[in-house]
Every structure is written in C-alpha cells, then in structure tokens.
Structure 1
Amino acid sequence: MIIDITIANFRSIKEKQTISLCAESTPRHLKNNIAFPGDGKIGVLKSCGVYGANASGKSNLLLAFEALRYIICRSGDLKDGDEIPCYEPFKLSASEPLKPVEFEIEFFGPDARRFLYAVSFDSNSIITESLDFYPGRIKANLFKREEGDSWQDIKFGTHYKGGKKRVACFRNNSYLSKAGNSADASEVIQGIYNYFRKDIFHLGAGQQVAMFDWKDDSEIVQKISKLLCHIDTGIVEVEFKDSEFDDGGIDFSSSVPEPLRKKILKDRRRKAYFSHKDQNGGVVKFTEEMESSGTVKLFNTLPLLLEAFEYGGVLLLDELDNSFHPHVVEFLISLFNSSEVNTNNAQLIFTTHNINLMSPNLLRRDQIWFVEKENGASLFHSLDEYDKSKVKSNSPFRKWYEEGRFGAIPRINKEKISEILRHGAS
C-alpha cells in the first residue's frame, strides 16, 4: 500500500509536493476506509480522489507513478548512453537550468514491510538513489547511491542480507531495476521490483488494459461476464473469438522480435463479443464498437479491479467519472472501502470532476485532494488541511467546493468570453 509520494520538478509539478494516504485524524469516521497493514500502527487510506480544473495537473500525479515505475522496473533495460524517456522536468522556469526530477515514495511492500525509496535523475543518468526500510520504529538503510557514484561505489547497509549485492549497471540504470531483475539478487530487492512491476496498475483516460494476457484467462472472462450482467449493461455473456484479419498491412521493423510480432497479430485478431438477449428470448452478439463508451470503459477497468483485489494492488484511474454513471463510480469506490470485499488492502487513487463523490458518507476529509496551478506550477492540498473546527467530518463538502471555499475550480472570465463570441477576437 502507498503511504505517501513526494514529487518535484516533474511536468507541471515544480516544487516538492507530497500526497499522503496516511490516515492521521478522526480514525472512527468511516473506519472501514482505513487499512492497518504491517504491525497495525499506521492507518493507510484505501482510496483517494483528486479534484481540480482541466490542465491543473491531476493526470500528472498519476503519470508520476508511471514514471517511477519505469525507473524501478524498466530503466535497467537501457543501454549505455540511452536517454531516460520519463525525464520530463518543469519547463516554465526559463531563467533556471533544467534540474533533476525527484521522487520519493513510502509504501508497504512485500510481506507488509514498510519501505522508503528515493530517486533523482536527469535525461542521462540516475543521480541519487536510496532504499530504506523499518525493521522497527527506526529507519534503516539498505543501499545508497550518491551523486557521482558508479555501481562500484554504491553503499550497502548492514540490514542488506542475502543474494548478490554489487550488480553492474550503467549510470542511466537504477540499481533497483538492474538488481531486481537479477536471479541472484536479494529476495527483498526482487520483491520490491516485482511489487512495482506487477501490483501497480495505471489506466489513463481512453486507455485499454495491456498489463497482462487476461483475454486468454477463462476464469477472469467469466467473472467479468457475471459482473457486467449485474451492472445493468444488458450483457449476458462476454467471449473472445478470433476474427478475420488481414495482417499484410502491418510493416514490422526488423528489430521487432518474432514472439512480439506474434503477440501483436494475435491481439489484433482476438475480438470481444458481447451477448444481449433480444425481445424474443434469443441472443444477439455485439462487437466492442457497438457498445456504449461507458460499457467499454467498464469492460477495460474490471480486469484491473479483479487483479487489484486478488493481490492487494494499487489501481490508478484517470478521469474515473468519464463515461460512467455516478452511481457506478460511487459503487466502485465503495468496493475499495469495503472491509468484506477488499480483504487484501487494495488501493484506488483516482482523478475526477464528479463532485457528487465529495460526500462525507463516502470519503473522509483526508481522502479528498485538490490541485490548482499558481504561475503554471501545480500545488496539491488535502481537505484535511483545513481548520477541523470549521470543516468537520460531516460538513457539506460538495456545496462548499462549488462555492469555491477549497479552490481547485476553473477560473472562467465569462465577460471576456461573451465579448469574444459577440464581437470576435479583435
């Protein structure tokens, strides 16, 4: 589970911004929304919603998770001299040179142990990197890579036990990525590497699931069929079949491996068919293109939902409200907050414009975050930061947000816009 993440100099996020999912106050309010992993001393929120105007930086928070996953899981594949593709610094400070991107994440990882990972990097190299964990109340270091260190200079703490420590890596490879994908590395390092590789799922607006080959898993397909039947989609069954597909038009580069070519062609052939009952009791099959955008999005979200609940993963959903009925969205959030359904402490972090979700009956104050821009830079703050004597657990969050009390709403110059529409831009 994610406890908090700190981001600096990434896309629209300039100065350090920390988004915390640590439940520090009013533990009795909506207590089922809190999990207590590890030794049970730290409460962690099961869900978190981020509000803000368009282009405020909501999506950049989720993209920061994706960039961090790249550093941890894929930077080890970079060849010497390759640029790090997720280096996207804040670019609106024209007078300042481009600085490193910085990430720091605290989380409960494998075996519910608490870790703290920090990394900074530019377009060419990992500048600093460290991993700490908490064997008790006091933090202990596992490894540390300081500016200018080569792989031979990385320092290891006394708690780093088992497996090979020193793993050769280029300056653009994170140690965690290189060592985590090595069979002779420590089980702890391998466990963290696989946690970020397998248990954190990001679905951007308009994206489809591409994390794993769920379409060939009959059990998952059957579960999705049953779930869609009970969400008033009119669907009675989902099945995948190979359709006619002319692959002659795909011009593969010579560098594309044969197994990848076969997978791409297989995915292009495999099509989903949704069965609906007709008025005479028969069955009519629809293709994905014939279904509503809401049904298609739900169809692409459910595999990640099942995966997160089964393994206790973290699900990152951009524009959760897009194409979904408000009741469906509210129900999805309630599933994560449910102690009966969410037995493995899965987490949902989502962005939204749906103010109906901003209800004290669904979300706690510390589960609601806002983002707005100041001089082009995104700033995050939680509803829990407001005076608790004035903003209480049962306050009308939605109404006060609409009134602008919490910020993070679009600034619309209605007079100027009306003037342009009446008389033109001149």
Structure 2
Amino acid sequence: MERAILKSISAENFASFAEKIVFSCIADESKKEHKMNTFKIGDNIINKVSYIYGANGSGKTFFCKVFREIQRMVVLSPLFMMKKLPIKDLFPSEDLLKPMPKFAFDIAYKDLPTTLGIDIIIDEITYHYEFSVFNQMVVYELLTKKYRRTEKILERTSPSFEDIILKSELKSFEDNKHVVKKEALCLAMAAMLNNDLADTIVNAIKEINVVNMTYPRLDPTEIEAFSEERIKKYVKVLKKADPTIREMHINYKEEEVARQKIESDDFENREIIQKKTTVGVKTEHALYDHGLEIESGTDQIEFFKDESLGTIKLFTALPYLFDILEKGGVLVLDEIENGLHLSLVKEIISLFINEKTNPHNAQLICTTHQPLLVSNDVKKDQVWVISKDKFGKSFLKRLSDKNFSRAKVNLTNKILEGALGCNPEKFF
C-alpha cells in the first residue's frame, strides 16, 4: 500500500479561523488547464503542488498548525487513558499540552467547539474524518468511507463512550470502546488496540510532514533518512552551497524516556513506551594551501553554529524532501522561501512536478510571501490566498474561484498589484 493522498483539510473556530475554511487539493475541472501539474487517482484529479499566499500575520502558519493539531490529538489520545502517566515529562514543548486554540477576538466563539477535518485517499477509497473539541473534551467525531457510495463507520455525539456508534471495519472495537476517555479520540484508541482500518488512517495522518522553514534545526525523523546512501545525496546537494564540504556524519540517538503499563485487564499487560530522538551533525571540510587541497577530514566549523543559515535551512529540508519523493506522501512547508534563493525554491518545486523525480505522486503544500513563484506554468486552482479582516478573522480563498476579465492572467503581477488581497497594508 502506498502512502495516503491528501484530498482536503478544514478548520472552524481554530486560532484565527473563526469561520470554517476548507482547503482542497482537488483540481478545478471547470478550467481548461485543470490536468496540468496533476495526477489521477480513481475519479479524482489531484494537484501535485499548492501555494498558500498571505501577508504577515494573515494566518499562514495557523493553516499549517491545523495539520499539527490533528496529529497532536491522534498522538496524545492514547495517553489520556493513563492514570499516573507524567505526560508533561514526555513532551519537552509545553505547546503540545496546551488547549486547542479558539478564535480569541470575539466572545461568541468561546462557547463554541473547535472542529477540524481531513479527507485522505487510501487505495482509491476516500476517508473523511472530523472531530470537535470543547473544553478539552471530544464532543463529536465522525469517520466515513467512500468508494462507490458513502458509508458512515464511526459517529460520536458526546464525550461519553456510550454515544459512540461503530460499523463495518470498526465494529471489532465495540467491546473495547469503554476505554475511550472524554479527552481522547475514538479512532486513535482503536488504532492503539490494533484495529487495522483505524491503524491505517492514524498512520496516514501521522505521516504528513509539516516543516517550518523558519526553524533552523533539524527535527528528529526516522533513522532511515540518515543511511549512508542518503547522506551521500545530502552532501552532493550541500556542496552546491558550500563547496568545501567533503563528508557528513549523523549521530541519530533514540532513548526511552518513559514506560507505563495500561491499567486495564482488557489489554493483556500491554505498555506504552515513549521515546525521545535527537540528531547531531558533524561535517568534514577541505583544507587548502594557496588554492591546492592538502587535507580533508577536518572539522574547522561546527555545522549548526558556524555554517551559513541558508545551508542549514537547505539541510533541514533535505531528509523530508527525499523521504516524500522516494516514498510518496504529503509535505507541508511553512515559508518555503525562508533562507533559500528563489531559484533553489523553484528547483525544489519542480522536483514534485516532474514525473521522474516524483514517481509516487508526492504532494507539496507550501506557504509563501514570494509572488515570483507563481509563473506561467502554475494554475489558478493551485493558488490559495489567506487574508485577515479588521476583526482578526482569517479567510482562505482559491484563485480559481475569482473572476478574471481574461482567461490568461499574469498571477505574479496580480499579486504584486495587491489585486488578490494577499499583500499587507503599508506599515509605515
């Protein structure tokens, strides 16, 4: 089974998104150019690359956090059933434990739940999953599948496990649904207890890579990303930025930080094991004497301390790029151009468009300020605009939904002119 394909994602009463926003990777078939930069899966035509434009503070990073918030709930849900598990000790970032952020600038939204949703395609079957959270309790949860017809296989109408209805492939979890706590997702609990469908969907959600390019350090990833073959590829690319690099050594460390038994007779004395991973980088550089290389294998600089920020940013992205392009999947890059030259950013994007470098139809979703990324070979339905009104509400609109006077429009000029609503007001 290949990795899942993202069809859409939605959010309501989350951070700056007061009203419901829906982002879709489905190509707009009403447009003449709809098959360009796309691939077909079943009856769906999917865009390979999508752009999210917006001014500073418009909500681009919050858009990326929708993915992270869904993943956070999936990861944390099994831990909520523990009675004595020191959750705070397991997560170095307190952000993981904060309540889901609601829209903060209108008191009417304080009494409304936050709803997040995602549609993914697995083996040509579309799964729609959404949940609502209020006061840190899951008040609604829904999972449907669609192949020829739509079938509801999970529905939850209150925080109580008694109000969970399971059908089809999730019916086997019926006898264990009492373990679902008010704060936990039923789907995540079913996955932990080895329900095949739940496990498949949860893993598909967790495999979406969300990378903030403003962060200069490498987040831990799978050890396969640092094989000898992969490191050689990284060095080959990084030499274009720093021609003195000769070798790169990665210290990938994984350690167990907590082990807790699940306190229930139904779980056969099972345990949840929490692990922490760290990645260290050391590079060897050439040494010259009047232009002649006399020695290699030296470590004149510390990579994360002394290397240029652009080179570090490039290296930060490489493991995710190679993972996605070699295996398929979804990569979300927040501020893709941060620290990188425009031509390099365009080259990264072209890797996803090219069928040879992207044989598994990986998807790239990137937020950006850079209008020059939108050239003649970009369709209007690939471009989304986030704008914020005077009340602090962010809105997401697709350019293909806008009416243009001519069929062929220079999107770069339109963005620079401010006609599309994604430029900031004058600050000074």
TM-score, shorter chain, exceeding 0.5: yes
Deviation, 1:20, is: 1.4
Kindly tell me: are residues 334 and 27 of structure 1, through their superposed partners in 2, closer, same or farther at Cα, counting changes over 3 Å? farther
Answer whether contact 1:372 1:408 (CA < 8 A) is retained. yes
| Cα displacement string for residues 93-113 of structure 1 (whole angstroms, at most 9, x for unaligned residues) | 03553421111211113x342
Which of 184, 187, 195 does residue 176 from structure 1 map onto?
187
Deviation, 1:263, is: 5.5
For residues 96 and 87 of structure 1, the distance between their equivalents in structure 2, rounded to whole angstroms, comes to 13
> 1:51-70 to 2 correspondence within 5 Å?
51-70=53-72
Kindly tell me: are residues 341 and 391 of structure 1, through their superposed partners in 2, closer, same or farther at Cα, counting changes over 3 Å? farther
Point out where structure 1 has 5 or more consecutive residues left out of the alignment.
Answer: 244-254, 418-426
> 1:181-200 to 2 correspondence within 5 Å?
181-183=192-194, 185=195, 187-197=196-206, 199-200=207-208
Deviation, 1:331, is: 0.8
Tell me whether 1:320 sits opposite 2:336 in the alignment: yes
Instruction: Indicate the residue corresponding to 1:17 in structure 2.
Output: 21
Tell me whether 1:405 sits opposite 2:415 in the alignment: no
Q: Which moved more, 1:166-175 or 1:52-61?
A: 166-175
Deviation, 1:310, is: 2.5
Which of 20, 30, 33 does residue 29 from structure 1 map onto?
33
Amino acid across the alignment from 1:369: W
For residues 263 and 161 of structure 1, the distance between their equivalents in structure 2, rounded to whole angstroms, comes to 31
Deviation, 1:272, is: 2.3
After TM superposition, the runs of 4+ consecutive aligned structure 1 residues lying more than 6 A away are 80-84
Which of 211, 217, 220 does residue 203 from structure 1 map onto?
211
| Cα displacement string for residues 83-134 of structure 1 (whole angstroms, at most 9, x for unaligned residues) | 963511011003553421111211113x342110011112321110011111
Which of 101, 113, 118 does residue 88 from structure 1 map onto?
101
For residues 228 and 316 of structure 2, the distance between their equivalents in structure 1, rounded to whole angstroms, comes to 16
Amino acid across the alignment from 1:366: D
Instruction: Indicate the residue corresponding to 1:222 in structure 2.
Output: 232
| Cα displacement string for residues 62-99 of structure 1 (whole angstroms, at most 9, x for unaligned residues) | 00110011122332212479996351101100355342
Deviation, 1:354, is: 1.0
> 1:27-176 to 2 correspondence within 5 Å?
29=33, 31-37=35-41, 39=42, 41-79=43-81, 85-109=98-122, 111-136=123-148, 138-148=149-159, 150-157=160-167, 159-160=168-169, 163-167=172-176, 168-176=179-187
Deviation, 1:276, is: 4.3
SS at match of 1:141: strand
Answer whether contact 2:156 2:164 (CA < 8 A) is retained. yes
TM-score, normalisation: structure 2 = 0.83
Amino acid across the alignment from 1:397: L
Answer whether contact 1:241 1:271 (CA < 8 A) is retained. yes
Point out where structure 2 has 5 or more consecutive residues left out of the alignment.
Answer: 88-95, 261-272
| Cα displacement string for residues 135-165 of structure 1 (whole angstroms, at most 9, x for unaligned residues) | 21x21111111125x22331123x3267444
For residues 82 and 16 of structure 2, the distance between their equivalents in structure 1, rounded to whole angstroms, comes to 29
Instruction: Indicate the residue corresponding to 2:11 in structure 1.
Output: 7
Amino acid across the alignment from 1:130: L
Deviation, 1:172, is: 0.6
Answer whether contact 2:286 2:293 (CA < 8 A) is retained. no
Identity of aligned residues (%): 23
Amino acid across the alignment from 2:180: C
Deviation, 1:356, is: 0.7
Answer whether contact 1:32 1:339 (CA < 8 A) is retained. no
Kindly tell me: are residues 261 and 387 of structure 1, through their superposed partners in 2, closer, same or farther at Cα, counting changes over 3 Å? closer
Instruction: Indicate the residue corresponding to 1:290 in structure 2.
Output: 306
For residues 367 and 275 of structure 2, the distance between their equivalents in structure 1, rounded to whole angstroms, comes to 35
For residues 373 and 146 of structure 2, the distance between their equivalents in structure 1, rounded to whole angstroms, comes to 35
For residues 119 and 262 of structure 1, the distance between their equivalents in structure 2, rounded to whole angstroms, comes to 27
For residues 86 and 305 of structure 1, the distance between their equivalents in structure 2, rounded to whole angstroms, comes to 31
Amino acid across the alignment from 1:20: S
Kindly tell me: are residues 216 and 395 of structure 1, through their superposed partners in 2, closer, same or farther at Cα, counting changes over 3 Å? closer
State how many pairs are aligned.
389
Kindly tell me: are residues 234 and 28 of structure 1, through their superposed partners in 2, closer, same or farther at Cα, counting changes over 3 Å? farther
Which of 329, 340, 343 does residue 359 from structure 2 map onto?
343
Amino acid across the alignment from 2:211: L
Answer whether contact 1:2 1:108 (CA < 8 A) is retained. yes
For residues 391 and 312 of structure 1, the distance between their equivalents in structure 2, rounded to whole angstroms, comes to 36
Instruction: Give the strand-richer structure, 1 or 2.
Output: 2
Tell me whether 1:281 sits opposite 2:293 in the alignment: yes
For residues 48 and 120 of structure 1, the distance between their equivalents in structure 2, rounded to whole angstroms, comes to 26
Amino acid across the alignment from 2:381: D
Answer whether contact 1:73 1:196 (CA < 8 A) is retained. no
Answer whether contact 1:370 1:380 (CA < 8 A) is retained. yes
TM-score, normalisation: structure 1 = 0.83
For residues 124 and 193 of structure 1, the distance between their equivalents in structure 2, rounded to whole angstroms, comes to 20
Kindly tell me: are residues 34 and 165 of structure 1, through their superposed partners in 2, closer, same or farther at Cα, counting changes over 3 Å? farther
Tell me whether 1:370 sits opposite 2:385 in the alignment: yes
Kindly tell me: are residues 104 and 242 of structure 1, through their superposed partners in 2, closer, same or farther at Cα, counting changes over 3 Å? closer
Q: Which moved more, 1:98-107 or 1:369-378?
A: 98-107
For residues 349 and 372 of structure 2, the distance between their equivalents in structure 1, rounded to whole angstroms, comes to 12
Instruction: Indicate the residue corresponding to 1:396 in structure 2.
Output: 410
Amino acid across the alignment from 1:68: I
Kindly tell me: are residues 222 and 32 of structure 1, through their superposed partners in 2, closer, same or farther at Cα, counting changes over 3 Å? farther
Kindly tell me: are residues 33 and 237 of structure 1, through their superposed partners in 2, closer, same or farther at Cα, counting changes over 3 Å? farther
Q: Which moved more, 1:307-316 or 1:90-99?
A: 90-99
Amino acid across the alignment from 1:346: A
Deviation, 1:277, is: 6.3
